[in-house]
Amino acid sequence: MEFRISQNTPTVPHRKHWQFCVGSGHALLALRTDYTRQLKFIHDTLGIERVRFHGIFCDDMRTFNDLSMMYPIPGSEAFDEYNFNACGVAYDNVLDAGMKPFVELSFMPGKLARRKEGEKPEGSFFYKPLIVPPEDLEAWKKYISAFMAFLIHRYGIEEIRTWFFEVWNEPDLPVAFWNGTRDEYFQLYEATVRAIKATDPQIQVGGPATSNSKWVLSFLKYCRERNVPVDFVSTHQYAGDPLGGVESQGEMDEEMHFDLEKMIEGMKKAAGILAGMEDKSFLNGFRTVMPDKSETTDIEYGVFPHNAAEVRKQARDLPVYYTEWNENAGFSAYTNDTRKVAAYDVRAALETAENLTGSSIWCFSDIFEELHPFPQEFHGGFGMLTQNGIPKPVYHAMRMLADAGDLRLDLGPDATKGEIGIAAFRKEHGTQVLLFRQKMKNLDLPKEKAIVRLEMPVRPERVTVRRVDEDHGNPLKMWEEMGKPLSLNRAEVSALKEKSDVLPESWPFAWENGCLTLEGELGVNDVYFFEIQEA
């Protein structure tokens, strides 16, 4: 593969939309010191501005309490209180890290949750969020008004106007996040946004925060017909979503249904496999029951860029924020710790840039308890950092994009379309060239040579490269060579960080007749970042 870059190639702004925000686990984790340290590291090194997490209203945050929780005697439930102090500590920690909250208003406090016969109020996750609508929308509005008053008093209205407020998370997924109907979600959104706008009309609120780019047209139609305020559109997209697969565009009127018989058959098959396995670790069993479908099925790369373009059209003049996106929605997938995610995220970040106002990679750290808090340092978590803050390949790849110049060379629409793709940037007195070889599966294929020819009138002083490949930025490999220990001490963590760090190294080049030539051999899902220092 050969790429040629003319000296007269025009430039366009390098839109680092992914620096807008980053995802993380549920709100209670934001009270931890290790979480705050890692968040500050992500802000300081990647330039990410905000963080989004679930569950600010979960009962473990103790936002709505009554006397019956201590003394279960008749009539005690009438003596109640709002208490948003834990929310304040979480947001203080975010601000102390140099970031701002992207406030996801979820999930339902027990005092407000609907108690409907036959309805399971709890979601399927480790911390058991209540995912039902409120019993009384007016009581919910009162609660939201009190929450906003708390925030404004604590931080001031000018600060709160710089935050973003998103109503709920993935209400199209009934087992995980919402046990109401789509219309009930729209009603919840309306009640919420009206309560917030009554507090201050300049506070920014949006939705529908759906999975797989869904419900945007019907959500906006509902808001338009009822004159409901909406300041931005938010939705999510994973390439390897295990819940129903990648959805097509459209109204998305139908509710999601699960094939119960198929699920039971799958469980029976998994049980048979489990019985014959020698490795009885929790992680191995979990991966057997929840396999990495991104490795076993043929998933198309281009779903996210395609759907982002469609949502951009559907949103018309509203800002579009993808508040969750990544290569794989499967928690515990082995490949989450590999450079497969690095290559995908770099390519997707580049190819969606024109259609997104901002976005949020899911997520920044393996300090995360959505399904299970695994002890292994590398357990296939979603994070760019491990539980102890060891950077994974995806972190190093996004660091390359963060360090890239603010001007991107316009190499045409096909530059990132192939298996081997290229992007180039201008920064101060130099040019940067990023090469990647991206595939949706980790395949053991021969390396392929990539040649870059860049017109330069003067011989460059120096060329360096940073690499994410089998031997660079690969702490997983080193951890496996250690014997996959269940826990690490501080010395081991420091050693893994140091040995897997991605540092610039000198790279050979040829320069002749005003043309610089670079060569590299890329394995599957490798990422190379060349920095060319001009004289």
pLDDT tens column, 61-90: 999 999 998 999 999 999 999 999 999 999
* DSSP letters spanning 54-69: S-TTSGGG--EEEGGG
The pLDDT of residue 268 is 65
Average the pLDDT over 244-255 and give the result.
42
| Active-site pick, 104, 324, 370, 377 | 324
More confident residue, 287 or 347: 347
Catalytic residue among 166, 170, 247, 351: 170
pLDDT value of residue 286: 85
For CA atoms 166, 324, 125, 263, give the dihedral sign. positive
Task: Decide if pLDDT at 256 tops 60.
Answer: no
| Assigned superfamily of 3-9+406-533 | Glycosyl hydrolase domain; family 39 (2.60.40.1500)
pLDDT at 276 over 90: no
pLDDT at 264 (0 to 100): 59
Judge whether residue 240 has pLDDT over 70.
Answer: no
pLDDT above 60 (res 258): no
Residue 535 has pLDDT above 80, yes or no: no
Q: Does residue 189 register a pLDDT over 50? A: yes
Q: Please, are residues 522 and 420 in contact by the beta-carbon 8 Å criterion?
A: yes
The sheet that has 505-506: what strands, in order across it?
11-13, 407-409, 420-427, 430-437, 527-533, 462-468, 505-506
Per-residue pLDDT, 307:
94
pLDDT at residue 517, as a whole number: 97
Lowest-confidence range among 60-64, 84-88, 166-170, 531-535?
531-535
Cα dihedral 258/261/263/266 (nearest 10) = -150
**Per-residue pLDDT at 339:** 97
The yes-or-no answer on residue 117 being catalytic is: no
**Of 112-121, 226-235, 399-408, 413-422, which gets the smallest average pLDDT?**
112-121
Helices marked H in 72-177 — which ranges? 85-96, 137-155, 157-160
- What is the arithmetic mean of pLDDT over 143-157? 98
Calculate mean pLDDT across residues 52-68: 96
Active site residue 531: no
Tens of pLDDT, residues 352-400: 999 999 999 999 999 998 888 899 999 999 999 999 999 999 999 999 9
Where along the chain do its domains lie? 3-9+406-533, 10-403
User: At residue 271, does pLDDT exceed 80?
Assistant: no
27 pLDDT above the threshold of 60: yes
CATH number belonging to domain 10-403? 3.20.20.80
pLDDT of residue 117: 86
Query: Quick check: pTM over 0.75?
Result: yes
Q: CA 176 to CA 189: how far, in whole Å?
A: 18
- What mean pLDDT do residues 204-232 have? 97
